Amino acid sequence: MLKELFHDEAGFIVSAELVLIATLLVIGLIVGLSEVQHAVVQELNDVGDAIGSVNQSYMYTGFSATKSGGRGLKSYSRGSIFNDSRDDCDNNQCDITCDAPVTEGPKRR
């Protein structure tokens, strides 16, 4: 029975074909997932650009009330304003910069 098992080659070609097909599928899956990753990063970059371009300025006016008969100020509230200025990294405008390379000095003991 053991001798028959060693000489039995039934299904050898089928398993070799399955290994080849599985290898091609895994390679295709890796390439596909890499493209999905690039697409997701691009979309998140677009979302960041959209959030960075939102104008967050606001303004509200103050009001005041006088006493009956016009004899002085009863109450008032001041207004406020905030102007949104452009940040350093809005819409991918910041650059990552590195220092110039520096040669190594002698080791200290």
Domain boundaries, the chain: 10-83
Is the model's pTM score more than 0.85? no
Taking only the tens of pLDDT, the chain with its 109 residues reads 778 777 776 655 667 788 889 999 999 999 999 999 999 988 988 888 788 777 788 888 988 888 888 788 888 888 898 887 776 666 666 666 667 777 777 777 6
3-state SS record for 21-73? HHHHHHHHHHHHHHHHHHHHHHHHHHHHHHHHCCCCCEEECCEEEECCCCCCE
